[in-house]
């Protein structure tokens, strides 16, 4: 199945013996010139790139105060070392968060600190943890900043709150600015600019797909549940990852949203212009590209004259939506202020459940014993509802409202301490499959625990990346791909449609 060793699932997590350089060969394909220039980056490695990279560090630490603080404040306490799923899965010491940070920090020290400049001139920069900007350093950056899914688990355990994700985003932006971008992310962002979504799904294909879903729901339930596209004057604009139109089990979640909207009796629409919730601009640390992607949502909302924006099940999209959308693409003063701007589909459904407006036949899910995977960007970079921790309780309360059997995985693998699926942060690409399989190890161990102890059969998620990553990698660990489900797929299976 694979020409590398699949990690063995153990009874409890074990900190692996270090194997220096063992994952240095894991690096994604470099973006071709076309994909680079579409994002306003140079097409290939620029002349004098060493100096330009150094200058870019200076620019970014000036622009983002957090970056400077993170580069200065590490005391090498080691609290983060065993917290990264990629380190646990690969054993490569450069996947320890502190070592990953140091790949950038060493260059920062050399050119932007007194000690680094002094010892650099004496020819012994390593004495103060500083290093010259060289090809070898750039290669390390390219490998190991693409072995970070920006999940921020390490930052939870850092006594200084250093966020490796921000350092990894900065490193990717520096590399993009000197012409060394990643194919997967940059090709996708270019597609959003051209067509409106990550997949490159044009309007006619989207329309055909949605009509097909209407037929399917009608066949299964006898009820006319609509999947409206580009409807002016609709109350709600649904912004969802394009994987929801395309992949499984994502599409089963989309059918769940449609049924919930149907039962709520609200008018809603998808926009073909902003047919994507994902915003890979965040993964590559590019504010300009992130803003350009986000502005499409604003334009679509204005054009369609909607009153509310609801986001579908997408982890990092919710971070961008919840934390940044207002400053990126606001103000949203044209939307109805009685509702959160924007709102998560889980908040929407949960609210209706609280009000007793949805009817469920929970036995429809009795063939499943559920657990729930907290997606990193929802867990650690956003919230839901109006209470702290709502991002943890709301999805679980939805699952419990529609399923009779639910068990959580061990507490140090969920909630704020959740492990990444292994494919987040722009790493969900076939050229990084070995990394994805190995990075899934801690989650697979936690899943195995509840499978063996509680008879869990399925794991639900609210992120398109998590769903795709798991369906692809869990067979390597002896599970079946259809054991991964969407939260709104469970809703879809249990909801009783009371309206025609």
Partner 1 sequence: MPIEVNGKTMETDEEGYLADLNQWEPAVADVMAKLDDCQLTDSHWEVINFLREYYEEYQIAPAVRVLTKAIGKKLGPDKGNSKYLYELFPYGPGKQACKYAGLPKPTGCV
* CB-CB contact of 410 with 453 (8 Å): no
Q: Which residues in 124-183 contact partner 1 (CB under 8 A)?
A: 183
Stretch that binds partner 1, among 78-86, 133-141, 246-254, 435-443 (CB under 8 A): 246-254
**What is the rounded CA–CA span in Å between residue 444 and residue 470?**
9
* By CB under 8 A, residue 44 contacts partner 1: no
CB of 394 to partner 1, least distance (A): 22
* By CB under 8 A, residue 247 contacts partner 1: yes
Helix axes 135-144, 164-177, angle to 10 degrees: 130
CB of 253 to partner 1, least distance (A): 12
The nearer residue to partner 1, 132 or 248, going by C-beta atoms, is 248
* CB-CB contact of 90 with 17 (8 Å): no
* By CB under 8 A, residue 431 contacts partner 1: yes
Q: What is the signed CA dihedral for 259, 265, 266, 272, rounded to 10 degrees?
A: 40
**Distance of CA 479 to CAs 11, 174, 360, 462, 472, Å?**
16, 39, 29, 20, 10
CB of 429 to partner 1, least distance (A): 9
Choosing from 472, 483, 484, 487, the residue that interacts with partner 1 (CB under 8 A) is 472
Q: Using CA of residue 193, residue 194, residue 195, residue 200, what is the dihedral sign? A: negative
* By CB under 8 A, residue 16 contacts partner 1: no
The nearer residue to partner 1, 234 or 314, going by C-beta atoms, is 314
* By CB under 8 A, residue 241 contacts partner 1: yes
**What is the rounded CA–CA span in Å between residue 109 and residue 129?**
7
* By CB under 8 A, residue 473 contacts partner 1: no
**What is the rounded CA–CA span in Å between residue 86 and residue 96?**
8
Tokens standing for residue 224: 């006319």
Residue position matching structure tokens 């399989």: 437
* CB-CB contact of 178 with 423 (8 Å): no
Tokens standing for residue 281: 């601009």
* By CB under 8 A, residue 243 contacts partner 1: yes
* By CB under 8 A, residue 248 contacts partner 1: yes
Choosing from 184, 227, 322, 372, the residue that interacts with partner 1 (CB under 8 A) is 184
Tokens standing for residue 339: 């509702």
* By CB under 8 A, residue 478 contacts partner 1: no
Choosing from 96, 133, 188, 459, the residue that interacts with partner 1 (CB under 8 A) is 188
**What is the rounded CA–CA span in Å between residue 198 and residue 468?**
14
Choosing from 430, 496, 498, 499, the residue that interacts with partner 1 (CB under 8 A) is 430
CB atoms within 10 A of CB 20: 10
Helix (H, G, I), strand (E, B) or coil at 216: helix
* CB-CB contact of 159 with 73 (8 Å): no
CB of 294 to partner 1, least distance (A): 17
CB of 417 to partner 1, least distance (A): 24
The nearer residue to partner 1, 207 or 351, going by C-beta atoms, is 207
* By CB under 8 A, residue 425 contacts partner 1: no
CA-closest candidate to residue 353, choices 172, 488, 210, 199: 488
The nearer residue to partner 1, 94 or 250, going by C-beta atoms, is 250
Binding site residues, partner 1, CB under 8 A: 29, 183-184, 187-188, 191, 197-202, 204-205, 208-209, 212-213, 216, 241-243, 245-248, 250-251, 278, 314, 428, 430-431, 464-465, 467-468, 472, 481
């Amino acid at each position: 199945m694979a020409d590398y060793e699949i990690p063995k699932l153990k009874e409890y997590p074990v900190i692996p013996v270090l194997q220096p350089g063992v994952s240095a060969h894991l690096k994604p394909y470099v973006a071709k010139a076309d994909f680079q220039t579409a994002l306003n980056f140079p097409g290939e490695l620029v002349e004098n790139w060493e100096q330009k990279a150094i200058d870019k560090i200076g620019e970014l630490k000036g622009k983002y105060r957090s970056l400077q603080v993170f580069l200065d404040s590490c005391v090498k306490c080691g609290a983060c070392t065993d917290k990264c799923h990629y380190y646990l899965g690969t054993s490569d010491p450069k996947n320890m968060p502190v070592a990953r940070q140091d790949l950038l920090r060493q260059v920062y020290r050399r050119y932007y600190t007194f000690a680094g400049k002094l010892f650099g001139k004496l020819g012994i920069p390593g004495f103060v943890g500083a290093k010259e900007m060289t090809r070898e350093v750039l290669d390390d950056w390219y490998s190991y900043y693409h072995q970070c899914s920006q999940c921020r688990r390490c930052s939870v355990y850092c006594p200084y709150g250093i966020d490796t994700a921000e350092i990894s985003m900065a490193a990717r932006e520096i590399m993009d600015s000197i012409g060394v971008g990643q194919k997967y992310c940059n090709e996708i962002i270019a597609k959003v600019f051209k067509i409106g979504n990550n997949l490159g799904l044009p309007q006619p294909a989207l329309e055909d797909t949605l009509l097909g879903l209407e037929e399917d729901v009608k066949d299964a339930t006898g009820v006319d549940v609509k999947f409206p596209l580009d409807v002016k004057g609709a109350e709600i604009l649904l912004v969802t990852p394009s994987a929801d139109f395309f992949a499984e089990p994502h599409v089963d979640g989309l059918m769940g949203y449609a049924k919930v909207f149907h039962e709520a009796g609200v008018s809603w629409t998808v926009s073909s212009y902003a047919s994507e919730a994902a915003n890979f601009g965040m993964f590559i640390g590019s504010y300009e590209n992130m803003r350009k992607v986000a502005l499409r949502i604003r334009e679509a909302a204005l054009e369609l004259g909607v009153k509310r924006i609801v986001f579908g099940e997408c982890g990092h999209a919710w971070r961008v939506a919840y934390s940044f959308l207002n400053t990126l693409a606001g103000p949203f003063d044209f939307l109805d202020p009685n509702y959160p701007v924007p709102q998560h589909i889980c908040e929407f459904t949960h609210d209706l459940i609280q009000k007793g407006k949805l009817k469920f036949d929970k036995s429809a899910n009795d063939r499943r014993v559920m657990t729930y995977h907290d997606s990193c960007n929802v867990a650690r970079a956003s919230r839901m509802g109006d209470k702290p921790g709502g991002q943890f309780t709301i999805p679980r309360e939805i699952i419990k409202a529609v399923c009779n059997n639910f068990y959580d995985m061990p507490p140090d693998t969920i909630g704020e301490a959740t492990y990444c699926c292994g494919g987040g942060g722009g790493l969900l690409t076939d050229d990084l499959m070995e990394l994805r399989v190995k990075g899934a190890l801690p989650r697979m161990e936690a899943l195995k625990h509840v499978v063996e102890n509680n008879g869990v059969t399925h794991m639900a998620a609210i992120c398109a990346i998590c769903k795709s990553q798991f369906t692809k990698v869990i067979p390597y660990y002896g599970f079946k791909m259809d054991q991964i489900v969407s939260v709104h797929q469970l809703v879809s299976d249990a909801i009783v449609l009371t309206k025609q």
